[in-house]
Amino acid sequence: MKKLICVAVILGISGFCFAEENLQPLTMTPSTVAQKVVFEHCSKIFKVNQEKLFYLTLASISANRFSVDEIQTTNGYIIFSANRNKYLATIAKIDNSNAILKITPCNNIYNFPPGIITNTFKYIDLNIGTEIKS
């Protein structure tokens, strides 16, 4: 097992972690650090019908270990919690073979980890060809 050595400035201004074997700095993934997210990056069109996108979104939220707070299948939205904040995932039909997913913070503060959105979109992209089973 690798041992980690962490060196930090006493005031906590900066810190670096190095793996003992090769002494390379370990960096945090930018998608896990809270940052200003542009509203335009909060939505994406998928080439799938609205119902399938709803179930893929629900599966993505579950796979990312976010907690589901409320599901409304009639209106096509899911409220979930991640990183101590609540988010609204809205699914809307564009036409018979396209639907849009929009994920926005419920408190309208767009300073949050962008990985919440990008990981959800990636999961859907990777599983868009899978069959929905009841």
Instruction: Give the CATH number of the domain where residue 122 resides.
Output: 3.30.310.80
Residue 81 lies in a domain: yes
Q: Which of 82, 55, 52 is nearest to 68 (CA)?
A: 82
56-76: per-residue pLDDT in tens? Answer: 999 999 999 999 999 998 889
69-116: per-residue pLDDT in tens? Answer: 999 988 899 999 998 999 999 999 999 999 999 999 999 999 999 999
Question: From CA 4, how far away is CA 65, in angstroms rounded?
Answer: 27
How many structural domains comprise the chain? 1
Contact, 84 vs 33, CB < 8 A? no
Residue 62 lies in a domain: yes
Question: From CA 36, how far away is CA 70, in angstroms rounded?
Answer: 26
Residue 13 lies in a domain: no
Residue 122 lies in a domain: yes
Residue 26 lies in a domain: no
Q: Which domain holds residue 38?
A: 31-127
Which pTM was predicted?
Answer: 0.74
Contact, 100 vs 107, CB < 8 A? no
